Amino acid sequence: MPVGYTEEGKASWYGVPYHGRPAADGEIYDMETMVAAHRVLPFNTWLEVTNLQNGKSVKVRVIDRGPFVGGRIIDLSHAAAREIDLIGPGVAPVRLQVISAPPTVTANNYFAVQAGAFANYENAERARAQYAQRFGSAQLVMKQGPRPLYRVLVGKERSMEAAQKLADQLRLEVLQVFIVRLDETVPEAPVVSTASTPNP
């Protein structure tokens, strides 16, 4: 996104248990650094995030993917959330502004639509297979946490516009869908033996 790009919505923050785990770009997430998660902005994009309730702002670097909750547009680190008094309320309306472009443009400009998230691998794989048959491409990405979550990403579109069209199709049958960037650094979920898969 170009410098000056803005977006408004709700911000939340995340800390433990993600602290010390790999972020989506591969680096270790440190909740006391000025970083954030966004669904589609390229990694290493710098943002100025302004809390619209108090006017306080903070500068953060995108290293992770999320949040995957309706209405929210960014997940801030604990340190960044503290700077704009977000710790207490947990969620607040914000404005994002891109303040500098990443030094290199990623060669991977594909987008997908998240059409589900499952605690059970078998259920996630069943959904992935059905979407892959219908739309030609679907994959599972595992979200680390207290308990792994298997996200189903449908499609592999070259533009946000094409991904939006796919999202509109999926929205007819799925309550919540999200457009996400497909990052080469994000490994697909490992195949889990169905014999030892726990129930959700």
Q: Which residue has the tokens 């309706």?
A: 70
Of all helices (H) and strands (E), which one includes residue 154? strand 149-157
> ∠ CA(167), CA(143), CA(50), 5° rounding?
70
pLDDT at 182 over 60: yes
Quickly list H helices, 56-153.
Answer: 78-83, 121-135
Cis peptide, bond prior to residue 102, ω within 30 of zero = no
d(CA 121, CA 140): 9
Q: What is the pLDDT of residues 52-109, one digit of tens each?
A: 999 999 999 999 999 988 889 999 999 999 999 999 999 999 999 999 754 544 445 6
Given this model, what pLDDT does residue 21 score?
Answer: 86
**Six-digit token string for 101:** 């472009």
Every domain of the chain and the residues it spans: 6-100, 110-196
Q: What is the pLDDT of residues 88-100, one digit of tens each?
A: 999 999 999 999 7
**Six-digit token string for 143:** 């979200």
d(CA 74, CA 96): 9
Q: Does domain 6-100 have CATH number 2.40.40.10?
A: yes
Q: Are 48 and 58 in contact (CB under 8 A)?
A: yes
Sheet strand arrangement including 110-118? 138-143, 149-157, 110-118, 178-182
Fold for the domain defined by 110-196: Alpha-Beta Plaits (3.30.70)
Confidence at 27, pLDDT banded by 50, 70, 90: confident
CA quadruple 40, 140, 135, 68: dihedral sign: negative
Residues near 72 by beta carbon (within 8 Å), at least 6 away in sequence: 9, 10, 11, 12, 91
**Six-digit token string for 12:** 């939340």
d(CA 41, CA 115): 19
